[in-house]
């Protein structure tokens, strides 16, 4: 029985070695470009106009989905005892605009483009979305 198993494995190795593969330089690869996603602008100073806020807690962004008008300043308020991040998804993955928002501090972002802006606190896996409408 063992000899049959050894022969079977040897045959599989030989068969696998006999297959031909197209060299990498001859393979055709289609590159699909992701559409550019406009990035929100982090503000050092509050902008004039409408505003909304999102609370950051250890378990959630509240509200998790926020609809705002174009040009609105959104303030993330860290109501937790530890720092949290707010990282927006860009064309090449998540970009961390805020760094760490320390406990009891805020971060403001003005949204100058219409669209959906998903964001995440990667360490905790909590997610949210800002939807900007005209």
Any domain includes 70? yes
Any domain includes 16? no
* pTM listed for this prediction: 0.61
Any domain includes 25? no
Beta strand 126-133 with 115-121: parallel, antiparallel or unpaired?
antiparallel
Give residue-wise pLDDT tens across range 51-104: 899 999 888 999 999 999 999 999 999 999 999 988 887 655 556 466 688 999
Any domain includes 115? yes
Mean of the per-residue pLDDT values for the chain? Answer: 73
Any domain includes 26? no
Q: Which domain holds residue 108?
A: 41-133
């Amino acid at each position: 029985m063992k000899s049959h198993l050894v022969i079977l494995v040897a045959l599989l190795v030989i068969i696998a070695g006999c297959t031909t593969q197209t060299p990498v330089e001859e393979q055709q690869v289609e590159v699909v470009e992701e559409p550019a996603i406009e990035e929100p602008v982090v503000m050092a100073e509050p902008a004039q106009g409408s505003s909304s806020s999102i609370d950051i807690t250890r378990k959630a962004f509240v509200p998790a989905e926020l609809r705002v008008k174009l040009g609105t300043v959104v303030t993330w308020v860290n109501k937790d005892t530890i720092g949290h991040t707010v990282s927006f998804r860009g064309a090449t993955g998540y970009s961390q605009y805020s760094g760490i928002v320390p406990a009891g501090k805020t971060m403001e972002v003005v949204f100058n483009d219409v669209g959906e802006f998903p964001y995440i606190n990667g360490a905790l896996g909590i997610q949210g979305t800002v939807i900007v409408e005209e």
